[in-house]
Structure 1
Amino acid sequence: MKSSAIFTRAAAGALAMGLSTAALADTWRYAHEEFEGDVQDVYAMAFKDYIESNSDNTVEVYRFGELGESDDIMEQAQAGILEFVNQSPGFSGAWLPAAQIFFVPYLLPTDEETVLEFFDESEAIHEIFPELYAEHGLELLNMYPEGEMVVTVDEIVTSPEDFNNKKIRVMTNPLLSETYNAFGATATPLPWGEVYGGLQTGVIDGQENPIFWIESGGLYEVSPNLIFTGHGWFTTASMANKDFFDGLPADEQQLIVDASDHAYDVTMEHIQGLADESLDKILAASDEVTVTRLTDEQIEAFKARAPQVEEAYLEMTGENGEVLLEQFKADLQAVQND
């Protein structure tokens, strides 16, 4: 009887402890802009794996379209419906103008090693951007590159004049519109869900994206001329709702930071060589695709139009943009001089 009572009390205590542990375990929601296996998904799944391997928490990952488009998931994150979100400055530039810096053409080099080193070490990214995102209720976890931007068009383009009368789809980003207008095209903002159909029906004549996304989304099927203009890299950012993050105990905040660092490392390893692999898949899938890599001389014609985009960036962003651009250029010079 005595031993039975002891056993019962022990079992009840264990059950209570289990219930207590379960009560402390949370389910966190993370939404991103891409499909299964794409770069943002690689990041999100690495983040999820780290959290679940090092805590009792669970992370639910939502991919493109499952909770809406990019603007929808950002609204949900800022409202606290989602704990985590991944959104490119291509979309966040509409409400955080300074983030459009990644769309100043020819500011970032296309050399992969230099780009990766820049994102590792940039003071602009690691010190200035977190403060800017915090003003919008977001805890910036990481900014990271996904790949060199490639333009697909209905005809081969090698000069700004070739872009005349071409409607090029851009994200809802005022500076990106400035870029393609400067390049001679007609910038046409469209949500991602309308891009394939728009290319197929001629509503738009072209678009830009990293090559893995052109392959993943099948864009080469309806826009077969791939133009490597060398004008920049696609960048994205992972964030947490700031009220959620600030309300966590210090150990869970550190868990999230560590998970983000782990996801960043996994993703940076993943993207190395990804562009070449994706291009090989495209060429194997279609004999209608053409690949045009602009010569240095051809690139110079586009570069000559970049200063007017930089000027537009400064007009849109004021003092914040000026400080950020100065630091951005200093950071780039530092890694290029290494």
Structure 2
Amino acid sequence: MTYKTLTAASALALMLGATTASADTWRYAFEEAMEEVQGKFAQKFKAEIEANSDHEVQLFPFGTLGESDSILEQTQSGILQFVDQSPGFTGASIPEAQVFFVPYLLPQDTATLATFFKESKAINEMFPPLYAEQGLELLTMFPEGEVMMTTKEPITGPADLDEVKFRVMTNPLLVESYKAFGATPTPLPWGEVYGALQTGIIQGQENPGFYIESTKMYEVTDHITRTGHNNFTTAVMANKDFFDGLSAEDQELVENAIATAFDYIIDYQDGLTEASLAKVKEAKPEITITTLTEEQRAPFKETAASVEATYLEIGGDQAEAILTQLKEDLAAAQGM
């Protein structure tokens, strides 16, 4: 563990009076605020657990226990029982999970995405053993919305990203993706992004529309560009030893709560992107929100093959099998 992680873990232990969970209290941390998508999912999960058992679920939104690396390590060590974290942050330890950053791999249609995440053999059969090797029980993955770029200058093609310092998560494939787009990818912890945009250390970042609105990224950028290159994916995990130690009844309780929360969060996101962008436009009328045409997207799409090739090089032993299966699962979800 890093010093920062230990500090966060110590703070949690002091708050709760112990570093191990009682039989009736489960702790769940996530990367967003309580009223953002991961927070809404967590609240639904908590409500289902508490309505159908004597267990209590304590929720810890972003910033409560440190950055993303801290809450993952705390889950692996058993201080936390559940964590919601994007594969963008687990890519270093589970390189196969970087597949979700191959541009133009995932569709934008919500119904298709919901079917894919529910039924995907790659997600539900191939990924769990990889997560288990890291001490994690993969409970579900779900989409959070279309990823958009926010920048200081307008973007109509890769040439406009030349020399733009663009914040990315600390994920090797996402770095390669933005290199292919023509930008200068700059990995930064999320807590530093607003200030870095404000001071000009970076000139762009990417996130779903709801997150751009709720975190006020529009205040420190002037243009939102919908390139259609990705849909943000996140994963809910449990500490593996904790989950394996649950009774069959409690394991079923968790799985049912996860399934209910999944259906809830898909419905919750219906119309969320457009509503969020409308709020952005209301708060900052001068901002431009541009959806690139297919012609404008073409040069971005042309980079996908090189990023995919990089994934096969750095994505771990099962990268090729997972990518192949993922494409088959997507085709099935699209009815192709």
Matched AA of 1:270: Y
Structure 2 match to 1:120: 118
Question: How many Å apart are 1:111 and its aligned residue?
Answer: 2.1
| Contact residue 99 and residue 315 of structure 2 kept, 8 A | no
Q: Deviations over 1:303-332 (max 9, x none)?
A: 111111001000002440000000000011
Distance 1:112 1:27 in 2: 34
Structure 2 match to 1:12: none
Question: How many Å apart are 1:290 and its aligned residue?
Answer: 0.3
Secondary structure of the structure 1 residue equivalent to 2:278: helix
Structure 2 match to 1:55: 53
Structure 2 match to 1:16: none
Question: How many Å apart are 1:287 and its aligned residue?
Answer: 1.3
Distance 1:225 1:112 in 2: 24
Moved more, 77-86 or 120-129: 120-129
| Contact residue 118 and residue 335 of structure 1 kept, 8 A | yes
Structure 1 match to 2:329: 331
Q: CA RMSD in A?
A: 1.2
Structure 2 match to 1:85: 83
Structure 2 match to 1:242: 240
Moved more, 125-134 or 30-39: 125-134
Structure 2 match to 1:73: 71
Question: How many Å apart are 1:136 and its aligned residue?
Answer: 0.7
Matched AA of 1:191: P
Question: How many Å apart are 1:271 and its aligned residue?
Answer: 1.0
Runs of 4+ aligned structure 1 residues displaced above 2 Å come to none
Structure 2 match to 1:309: 307
Structure 1 match to 2:99: 101
Secondary structure of the structure 2 residue equivalent to 1:66: coil
Distance 1:266 1:336 in 2: 21
1:162 aligns with 2:151: no
Moved more, 137-146 or 116-125: 116-125
Secondary structure of the structure 1 residue equivalent to 2:201: coil
Identical-residue share of aligned pairs (%): 57
Q: 2:269 aligns with which of 268, 271, 275?
A: 271
Q: 1:298 aligns with which of 296, 299, 313?
A: 296
Structure 2 match to 1:136: 134
Structure 2 match to 1:190: 188
Structure 2 match to 1:172: 170
Question: How many Å apart are 1:292 and its aligned residue?
Answer: 1.1
Secondary structure of the structure 1 residue equivalent to 2:45: helix
Question: How many Å apart are 1:117 and its aligned residue?
Answer: 1.8
Distance 1:213 1:110 in 2: 17
Distance 2:254 2:295 in 1: 46
Structure 2 match to 1:252: 250
| Contact residue 117 and residue 142 of structure 2 kept, 8 A | yes
| Count of residue correspondences | 316
Q: 2:212 aligns with which of 193, 211, 214?
A: 214
Distance 1:296 1:110 in 2: 14
Distance 2:316 2:121 in 1: 20
| Contact residue 98 and residue 315 of structure 2 kept, 8 A | no
Structure 2 match to 1:14: none
Matched AA of 1:194: E
Question: How many Å apart are 1:76 and its aligned residue?
Answer: 0.2
Distance 2:310 2:273 in 1: 30
Matched AA of 2:40: V
| Contact residue 25 and residue 56 of structure 1 kept, 8 A | no
Gaps of 5+ in 2: 1-20
Secondary structure of the structure 1 residue equivalent to 2:315: helix
Question: How many Å apart are 1:296 and its aligned residue?
Answer: 0.4
Q: Deviations over 1:202-244 (max 9, x none)?
A: 0000000000000010000101200000101000010100000
Matched AA of 2:175: S
In the superposition, the TM-score normalised over structure 1's length comes to 0.92
| Contact residue 25 and residue 58 of structure 1 kept, 8 A | no
Distance 1:174 1:317 in 2: 9
CA change 1:127–1:245 in 2 (3 A) is same
| Contact residue 178 and residue 184 of structure 2 kept, 8 A | yes
In the superposition, the TM-score normalised over structure 2's length comes to 0.92
| Contact residue 167 and residue 186 of structure 1 kept, 8 A | yes
Q: Deviations over 1:231-277 (max 9, x none)?
A: 01000010100000101111111111111111111111111111011
Question: How many Å apart are 1:288 and its aligned residue?
Answer: 2.2
Distance 2:70 2:196 in 1: 21
Q: Deviations over 1:47-105 (max 9, x none)?
A: 10111111111000000000001111000000000000010011111211110111000
Q: Deviations over 1:7-26 (max 9, x none)?
A: xxxxxxxxxxxxxxxx9851
Structure 2 match to 1:226: 224
Secondary structure of the structure 1 residue equivalent to 2:117: helix
